[in-house]
Amino acid sequence: MKMLLAPLAVLTLVALGAAALPARAENGGEQGEVRRERQAGNILSIRRIEQIVLPRMAGKQYLGPDYDAAAMAYRLKFIQDGKVYFVDVDARSGRIIGQTP
């Protein structure tokens, strides 16, 4: 009987953990949102955005992108000499909408 309870307890914990996942994870999370918007033709791909921005950031190391679904904007992160730089890009047009510093 004890041998059956342990697997049952594990399955119960797994089921409870899965039920607690946010709805966003069920829909593919941030990557799922980007994929849907890209497939619908609403935004440019990150590769296209990188083609626009990376040449302008010569000498800085590219750390990667983030996507803000609400703003429909990408934020690309760079570093140079210990200083972090952000470039915000409109995901629909590829236009740079903000840059620090």
Per-residue pLDDT tens for 5-58? Answer: 545 444 444 444 444 444 445 567 777 888 888 888 889 999 999 999 999 999
Task: Indicate the pTM of the whole model.
Answer: 0.67
**Rounded (10°) CA dihedral 60, 47, 52, 27:** -100
Q: Where are the domains of the chain?
A: 2-100
**Which distant-in-sequence residues (6+ apart) come within 8 Å of 4 by Cβ?**
none
* SS3 of 60-71: CEEEEEEEECCC
pLDDT of 64 > 80? The answer is yes
Query: In the chain, how long is the greatest CA-to-CA distance?
Result: 67
